[in-house]
Amino acid sequence: MENARLAIASPGNLRLAINAIMTLDGFFGTVHTERYDQGLTKEPSDDKWKDQLAQQNADYRLLRDCAYALKHGRLTKSKPRLVRRSDQIVTMPGAFDAAAFRNNAFQVQTVWIEAVDTDHRAGQVLQGVLQFARDCLSDLP
């Protein structure tokens, strides 16, 4: 989770964003193991369980597709993906956050995820996945 917080705090740092994407995807594998061992999840396959989560949460679906693309470079199988290539996670100059005027409204660089549906700011996706992770952990003792 700290990796995601660091990436969110440095929205133009591609290395931190990639590290957070990969770490959070791996984290969900650990959550699956814990939930499965405690009988809270009946699905024995973490991949199938993650697919179920991806259907429930758009940010997690995008993050998971990014993690696969980063791991493999290019996804060629027919499974529908929002991101198919690792080079769809890019740093772009001069982003402007029109939603709020604050000290960091103007960013020199921002990491973007160029997805099939639309482009996404990596920091916003990471924030959404962090909240989703908290929700997934809420019933663990």
The mean pLDDT of the chain is: 87
Residue pair 89/122 in contact by the 8 Å Cβ criterion: yes
Residue pair 62/80 in contact by the 8 Å Cβ criterion: no
| Total-model pTM | 0.84
To which H or E segment does residue 113 belong? strand 106-114
Q: What is the pLDDT of residues 75-117, one digit of tens each?
A: 888 888 889 898 999 988 764 555 555 555 555 689 999 998 8
Produce one character per residue of 97-107: b if its CB has 16 or more CB atoms within 10 Å, e if not: eeeeeeeeeeb
Domain positions in the chain are 2-137
For residue 67, give both structure tokens: 């993690």
Q: What is the pLDDT of residues 28-41, one digit of tens each?
A: 999 999 999 999 99
Q: What is the pLDDT of residue 59?
A: 96
Q: What is the pLDDT of residues 46-62, one digit of tens each?
A: 999 999 999 999 999 99
Neighbouring-strand partners of residue 69: none
CA atoms of 115 and 128, how far apart (whole Å): 16
